[in-house]
Every structure is written in C-alpha cells, then in structure tokens.
Amino acid sequence: MIELGERLESVSAQEALAWGLETFGDRLAIGTSFQAAGMAIVDMAARLRPDVRVFTIDTGRLPLETHDLMIEVERRYGIRVDVIGPDPGEVDAMVSRHGPDLFYEAASKRMLCCEIRKVRPLARKLATLDAWVTGLRRGQSAARAEVRKLEIDSANGSIVKLNPLADWSSEQVAAYNRDHKVPQHPLYAQGYTSIGCGPCTRPPMPGQGPRSGRWWWENDTRKECGIHFTPLGKVRRDVDILLEEIAGAVAIRS
Ligand code: SF4
C-alpha cells in the first residue's frame, strides 16, 4: 500500500481517479458537498465513467443554493445524486435537548451537531463502500497539510479514501472548472470561499484564510466537522458524553 501510495502521488488527478474507478468500480463513490474541488472531481469522474456514483450529506441545514446546485449537477451529468441524511430520532433528541442552534453555545455542542448531522450519516454510507473520493487539498488549511492522494480511512472500516486533488492549489481548481465550464456554487459569487451548513458559514473577513468563515465564532478549534479529522482530547470526551445523553433520549422514546 505504501508503494502504491507513492506511485499515486506522482500521477495526475485524472490518473489517480481512473485508478480508483477501475479498481473499485461500483464499490467506489464520490462524496461531495458541491464545493469547487468536489465539482472538479465530479466533472473528471463523469468524463471517465458516466455512471459514476456520487453521494452527498443533507444535514437539514444546507443553504438553498446547495440544493439548487445539486439539481443542476444531476441535469448536467445525467446522474442521480444519492442524498443521505441524519437519523431523525437523533436529530429530534438533540434539538429537543439543546435547541436547533446549539452549535453557537460551545465547541462540544457544535461537534455534537456535526457528529449527528454529518459524521454518523457518512459512516453509515461508507459502510456500504470499499472506497470513496473526496476533494481534500493540502493547501486548504494547516489541518489538511498532510493529506495524501491515497489514504486508508481508519475511522470508517479502513476503506480506501482517495483525494486526487491533494496537491492542487485553489488556482488550479478554479482553472479546471473555468476551462471545463463546471457549474459552481452560487454563494462563491457572494464572497464565500468555503461552504457548509447555512448557519455555520459566512464569507471570510479580509486577510483571513479560506476556511475562516466556517464556525467563525470559534477561535480555538480546527475548522473541521469531524468527517476528515476526529476531534481529540477534552472536546472529544465532552462530545462523547453529549452523544451518550442523546442515545439515552432516543432509547427512552423508542
Ligand atoms: Fe450542525 Fe453547523 Fe455542523 Fe451543520 S456545520 S452539522 S449546522 S454544527
């Protein structure tokens, strides 16, 4: 695997993607939130394999513009995006206990929301796959600086995680999308540079990094939802306690 990983580091994004599609076939899917890098990957993959599998997580708090782009993607590429969502019982229990906008109150509550609305639905989806593809890039943030094109997703059954654009800059992504007329998220035109759930995303302030508009009220956390990087230490323990409470509430209701 180490040798293969080294080889994939030296090939183009399209070649890495082609390797994944050929190796895993229908057991591979692209996971995307329809941001610029994810859209470039969907475009590349659709050219290589028109029936490529694509999925997204609908957290229930996405901006309307994301839904609009999803519909445009389906029309443009002739694919059906597999939309996965959180467990309704877990969302009900969380909202009943903490309110709909709990994420503004504490980092642990924000991560609880991300865990229930994003991380757990993703884990259920990945349990049906042998490989998934993401738009992660090393240049996005310090937390992503070590991303490799080929990784083993140890948090999700040790399936393969392919990041074909790991070594691309944001300029390369923009150039690809421009050259191939790839549909883009409408919120980029309003100054957004990284787009997630509506209440947790805003355009970055001048001079701030591209992911600084995500959970902008947090100063001491990695700007990550837990899908790609698992929180550690005290925050993780706090999240686990909150999750246990939610599990208890779900069990009482059922
Ligand atoms: Fe919840 Fe915000 Fe995370 Fe979306 S980004 S799952 S609304 S905390």
| pLDDT value of position 16 | 97
- CB–CB of 126/160 below 8 Å? no
What tokens were used for 196? 């997630």
User: For the domain that residue 195 is a member of, what is the CATH number?
Assistant: 3.40.50.620
- Catalytic residue list contains 225: yes
pTM (global) more than 0.85:
yes
- CB–CB of 87/114 below 8 Å? no
- Asked if residue 122 has its Cβ within 6 Å of ligand 1, the reply is no
List Cβ neighbours of 99 (8 Å cut-off, separation of 6 or more). Answer: none
Q: How far is the CA of 215 from the centre of ligand 1 (A)?
A: 9
Phi-psi region of 62 (alpha: psi -120 to 50; beta: other; left: phi over 0): beta
Q: Which of 113, 114, 200, 225 is catalytic?
A: 225
Q: Considering only CA atoms, which residue is closest to atom 6 of ligand 1?
A: 114
Structural domain range at position 129:
2-253
Domain count, the chain: 1
| pLDDT value of position 120 | 96
| pLDDT value of position 220 | 65
- CB–CB of 164/10 below 8 Å? no
- Asked if residue 209 has its Cβ within 6 Å of ligand 1, the reply is no
Note down pLDDT in tens along the chain; length 254 residues: 778 999 999 999 999 999 999 999 999 999 999 999 999 999 999 999 999 999 999 999 999 999 999 999 999 999 999 999 999 999 999 999 999 999 999 989 999 999 999 999 999 999 999 999 999 999 887 888 899 999 999 999 999 999 999 999 999 999 999 999 999 999 999 999 999 999 999 999 999 888 889 999 987 667 777 778 777 777 788 899 999 999 998 988 77
Place of tokens 């877990």: 90
| pLDDT value of position 226 | 76
Q: How far is the CA of 3 from the centre of ligand 1 (A)?
A: 37
Q: Considering only CA atoms, which residue is closest to atom 2 of ligand 1?
A: 200
| pLDDT value of position 235 | 79
Q: Could you identify the atom of ligand 1 that is nearest to the CA of residue 196?
A: 5
- Radius of gyration, alpha carbons of the chain: 18
Which parts of the chain fold into alpha helices (H)? 2-9, 13-24, 36-48, 64-77, 88-98, 107-114, 120-126, 170-179, 233-253
